[in-house]
Amino acid sequence: MAYRNLEIAHRGAVRTITVNRPDKLNALNRDTLNKLTLAFAQAAQDDAVRVVVLAGAGEKAFVAGADIAEMHGYSTVQAQAFSRAGQRLASAIERLGKPVIARVQGFALGGGMELAMACHLRVASEKAKFGQPEINLGLIPGFGGTQRLLRLAGRAAALELCLTGAPVSAQRAYELGLVNRLVPPEALDEAVNALADQLAATAPLAAAGVLDAVLTGGEATLDQGLEFETQTFALLFATGDMREGTAAFMEKRKAAFKGE
């Protein structure tokens, strides 16, 4: 697979999708957004892919947001379509059915922060910066930022970041619960790879069940979420991986999960 503005690499069961417009700090123009959507759809369908890493090329940025030059001339109708396309991509990442890790080394601003928040886990360099600066352009976030930031970090943080537009340090993002692992820049790849390998070795259907239960539960009442958890838990008793995992425990050996 080769896409303009995207690089796709494989390491075992881990697929890394890298936004590759470093001269524009990996800003998301419509073409890149479309290619990302395709790349994630392919990753979803490929059973050999157990974990996806989303990254940005170069040292300076994960993704510095939607492409401002492109947006400048948009009509309201085009803006609506662009927002919907960004939201669809973010939802597709969130609902991929396999873990997605954001590897954040520099600016994760606007649409970049929104994509990072749609990923299930975020591993960040201490030099990363997170922010929703759209207000400085006379805009608000349009790829789900107001909603995911609210859900991930709460109302105070969502309002602070979206109203001031000021970026926050990786340390502050970590304190807000936006970052799962905070590491020195030189340790970023090692930390991402270690987490990706750990997740790739888990039972894929159980991982999908965790994602499904947590994401569904986040939008449901406690009773609805608990019922969903019970149904998902019970369904996993139909999998070979559950038999294998429990047998391996009893036989004191490492389980070999097949995603069946």
Contact, 105 vs 128, CB < 8 A?
Answer: yes
Tell me the closest approach of the beta carbon of residue 157 to ligand COA, in angstroms.
18
Catalytic residue among 70, 114, 160, 227: 114
Q: How far is the CB of 134 from ligand COA (least distance, A)?
A: 5
In the chain, how long is the greatest CA-to-CA distance? 64
Q: Kindly tell me which of 99 and 106 has the beta carbon lying closer to ligand COA.
A: 106
Residue 190 designated active-site: no
Which member of 109, 115, 121, 124 binds ligand COA (CB under 6 A)?
A: 109
Interface pick for ligand COA out of 62, 82, 107, 257 (rule CB under 6 A): 107
Q: How far is CA 82 from CA 28, 55, 66, 110, 126, in A?
A: 11, 21, 9, 14, 31
Given a contact cutoff of 8 angstroms between Cβ atoms, the answer to whether 216 and 228 are in contact is yes
Q: Which tokens go with 134?
A: 């759209």
| CA nearest neighbour of 98 among 6, 179, 196, 181 | 196
**CB 38 to ligand COA: min, Å:** 21
Round to whole Å and give the CA distance between 98 and 4: 25
Determine contact, residues 121/150, Cβ cutoff 8 Å.
no
* Candidate residues 2, 69, 238, 250; the one interacting with ligand COA per rule CB under 6 A: 69
CB closer to ligand COA, 145 vs 204: 145
Interacting span for ligand COA (CB under 6 A) from 91-99, 108-116, 156-164, 180-188 = 108-116
Residue nearer to ligand COA on the CB measure, 59 or 190 = 59
Residue 4 corresponds to which tokens in the numbers above?
A: 């303009």
From 77, 13, 87, select the one nearest 50 (Cα to Cα): 13
Sign of the dihedral through C-alpha 65, 70, 71, 76: negative
- Please identify which of the residues 134, 186, 229, 251 carries the catalytic annotation: 134
Binding mask 12-41 for ligand COA (x = CB under 6 A): ------------xx-x--------------
Among 99, 133, 145, 204, binds ligand COA (CB under 6 A): 133
Q: Is residue 160 flagged as an active site residue?
A: no
The least CB distance from residue 220 to ligand COA, in Å, is 31
Question: At what angle are helices 30-45 and 76-94 packed, to 10 degrees?
Answer: 30
Contact residues for ligand COA (CB under 6 A)? 24-25, 27, 64-69, 107, 109-111, 133-134, 137
Catalytic residues: 114, 134
